[in-house]
Structure 1
Amino acid sequence: MIFHFVLILLVSIALTGLIRYYALSRKILDMPNQRSSHTVPTPRGGGLAIVLAFVFSMLLLVITQGLDAKTMLVFLSALLVAGIGFFDDHGHVPARWRFLTHLLAAMLVMVLLHGMPLLLLPTPLDWMLDRSMVDLSWLGYAVGVFLLVWFLNLFNFMDGTDGIAASESLFVATALAGYAFYLDRTLCFLAISLAAASLGFLGWNWPKAKIFMGDVGSGFLGLLLGILVLMAAQQAAVMLYCGLILFGIFVVDATYTLLYRFCSKQKWYEAHCSHTFQRAAKQYGHLPVLLACWVINLFWLLPISLLVFLYPAYALLGMALAYSPLLFLAYLFKAGQADWNQS
């Protein structure tokens, strides 16, 4: 497993460097504007390295671990999202086509997974746990598609400062690999592969970023992590809650910001820079914000997710505990409120 991780890491590092050279030579640059968090033109589309490194890892797993065709097809569904993101990075793809592609990929995944896993309805009464498992049946397909599309867009929304999306992917994938070690060996290898691919890119994307991820990577990561959470939940229903807790920073910031903009009658669908992390980055800088995210992830969200994994009856209480300070930070930094130059 260590050899597999190191190999994918090296492949990701090398591919990111090659893609950076390609982006510079083709002038595929992210130009600063009033909504940007950067001040100099920077190559974009580096997330393609994560995509290619992960696909390479799956080919290795087919050879070394006997990865089955169905599981491989589930994860390859994310290539639809990566493809539309690649074209968007090279030009502009209308939002409706991007959304339809995201929807199609999520629907394909849910068909292959045969809907949502059994849903755990947590209760502190241990003797009721066996009666708290609910089969959503056909409704599970709709719920699953919604969750996957939302996970996907979390990364599109939150990929706005140096290192934040790659760091979140590295953290969540590594944590899921730790859980999957006790649940499913194949799932563990897939999560380790994604963590290695993300770390390889992060070396180039760490503040100050030498290349940006772009839509080709952000949407791909969001969908893959969503798939990993759902597949882990098929092994242990509580993993759905553990995954949502691990995703806490992205879930709370993106959801709070979007709802605030919608309720305040702003053009919520337009680009903006009013997320909590963006406000914090402008005030304190990219690196301090990125390090703060790592502290929150490692010393707050990870321990709570572990407690929920050990004591599933308290899953909802754990989520409320995990999200509460994050909601306070969103309120403190006035997430979603229009800037003076956006009014």
Structure 2
Amino acid sequence: MIILWLLLAVVGVSLVMTGVLRKYALSRSLLDVPNSRSSHAVPTPRGGGVAIVLAFLAVLPILGWMSILTWPVVVALLGAGLLVAMVGFLDDHGHVPARWRLLGHFSAAVWALWWFGGLPQFVIFGTLIDPGWFGNVVATIYLVWLLNLYNFMDGIDGIASVEAVCTCLGGAMLYWLVGRADLAIVPLLLGLATAGFLYWNFPPARIFMGDAGSGFLGISLGLLSIQAAWVSPDLLWSWIILLGVFVVDSTWTLMRRLLRGDKVYEAHRSHAYQYAARKLGKHLPVTLAVAGINLFWLLPISLWVAVGTLDGLVGVVLAYLPLHVLAIRYRAGEKE
């Protein structure tokens, strides 16, 4: 019964708080005004992602008290999530130079990994690999990349929210499948916190997430994937598969812009999903397509890996191949 009340409370708090934040943003003229690099046409309030941050982080101590999460995991998620959200909040309300943003991001990743005990062992082609200190370096980069790519991919109505809801639903199903239904509550809570915000963010969006919300979701999903790896080594691959749409589009776009010599920290509209939205003339079909790919392609493969009948790395390759085709088809990273 307590779990049910927690789930209802998180979605309710997020829903109501987003509405309050929208009124606050309108009263203070905190609007995202369209420009040549925007994917929207109407000035829209921003910063609604703070509701996701507060709704999710508020219940973490309760999960620790209930022994659903260990206290080191609670401290890791709280500390890293708050730091990333604060950096994003400051950037939403002014401008934080890229070097200071990255310092905050790397600090958050190192903090969380220290409390987690680093990156656990994982499986490649049936062999259990102990990554040691090198794995912690890779995990730090992985977390920083995820939180930044989530910021990059939050460019049309509803897409970042839908991605988080689908990934969290998949993560909860993975725990149920491996016999740890008790841990499914954690991704479910994050997914419901995002769903409360999605009510306001679904196309046509009435408020945007902002860097505070997108960065928080990126690092939180990354940390949940590492936490899952501590439960079962195969689950790391399953989570990487679930995140495939965002990973492939953002990585393709970044690499092509780097090779062209673009300033990658500057705003642009050259992601595959942005080209697709302009081609279709609407955000909704693209956002729904992302949901469809997540639920009907990536989720089944991630579950296949979790049960141990498909090697994790093979599963990632299988899942990502069509996504690479779509990235090329929709010109990810091409100059506008």
TM-score, with structure 2 as normaliser: 0.95
- CA distance 1:58–1:18, change in 2 (3 Å): same
- 2:98 aligns to what? 95
Match of 1:12 among 3, 11, 14: 14
Displacement of 1:311 in angstroms is 2.8
Answer with 178-187 or 290-299: which moved more. Answer: 178-187
Determine if contact 1:155/1:165 at 8 Å carries over to the other structure.
yes
- 1:173 aligns to what? 168
Answer with 56-65 or 162-171: which moved more. Answer: 56-65
Amino acid corresponding to residue 116 of structure 1 in structure 2: L
Determine if contact 2:68/2:183 at 8 Å carries over to the other structure.
no
Displacement of 1:68 in angstroms is 3.7
Amino acid corresponding to residue 246 of structure 2 in structure 1: F
- Note if 1:119 corresponds to 2:119: no
Match of 1:151 among 141, 146, 151: 146
- C-alpha separation in 1, matches of 2:104 and 2:309: 35
CA offsets, 1:191-218, max 9 Å, x none? 1110110000000000000000000100
Displacement of 1:264 in angstroms is 2.3
Aligned pairs for 1:1-343 within 5 A = 1-65=3-67, 67-76=69-78, 77-122=80-125, 129=126, 132-181=127-176, 182=178, 184=180, 187-284=183-280, 285-311=282-308, 313-339=310-336
Answer with 1-10 or 110-119: which moved more. Answer: 1-10
| Contiguous gaps of at least 5 residues in structure 2 | none
CA offsets, 1:61-113, max 9 Å, x none? 24545644312111112100000111111111111111100000001111111
Amino acid corresponding to residue 104 of structure 1 in structure 2: S
Displacement of 1:170 in angstroms is 0.7
TM-score, with structure 1 as normaliser: 0.93
Displacement of 1:183 in angstroms is 5.0
Amino acid corresponding to residue 49 of structure 1 in structure 2: A
Displacement of 1:43 in angstroms is 0.5
Q: State the Cα RMSD in Å.
A: 1.5
- CA distance 1:29–1:240, change in 2 (3 Å): same
Determine if contact 2:88/2:213 at 8 Å carries over to the other structure.
yes
Displacement of 1:185 in angstroms is 5.2
- C-alpha separation in 2, matches of 1:115 and 1:240: 13
Determine if contact 2:156/2:283 at 8 Å carries over to the other structure.
yes
Determine if contact 1:187/1:232 at 8 Å carries over to the other structure.
no
- C-alpha separation in 1, matches of 2:149 and 2:309: 25
- C-alpha separation in 1, matches of 2:321 and 2:197: 31
Amino acid corresponding to residue 203 of structure 2 in structure 1: P
SS in 2 for 1:160: coil
